[in-house]
Chain A
Amino acid sequence: MYGTLGVVWFQAAGCTGCSISLLNADYPGVKNLLLDEIVPGKTLALRFHLTIMGPTGQPALAVLERIPEGEAENYLLVVEGAIPTAHANFGRIGELSMAERFSILVEKAAAVVALGTCAAYGGIPAASPNPTGAMGVKAFLAQNGGNTPVINVPGCPPHPRWFVETVVHLLTQGLPEGKELDDVGRIRSVYPGLIHENCPRRADFDVGRFARTFGEEGCLYELGCKGPYTEANCPYHAWNSGVNWCIKAGHPCIGCTEPEFPDFPSPLFRKATELRRGK
Chain B
Amino acid sequence: MNHRIAHHATKLSLGTFGFIFVCVFSIWTVHAEDYTSPNFLLRDPVITVGGTRLSSPSFELFTSAGQAVSGESASTSFIGRTGFLYFPTATSPVVSASAGDSQVSLSWTASVGALGSTVSSYTVGQSTTSGGPYTFTNVGNVTSATKTGLSNGTTYYFVVQARDAAEQSLIQSAQVSATPQAPAPAPSAGGGGGGVSSPQTKVDFSGRAYPGSTVVLLKDAQLAVKTVAGPDAKFQMSLSGLSGGSYIFSVYTEDQSGIRSPLLNFQITVITGADTTVSGIFLAPTIGVDKSEVKRGENIAIFGQSIPLAVITIVVNSDEEFFNKVNADGNGVYLYNFDTSPLAIEQHLTKSKAAYQGEVSPFGQAVTFKVGAKTVFAEPQRKCPSKADVNSDCSVNLIDYSITAYWYKRALSVNFATIERERFNGDGRIDLVDFGIMAYYWTG
Indicate, yes or no, whether A interacts with B. no
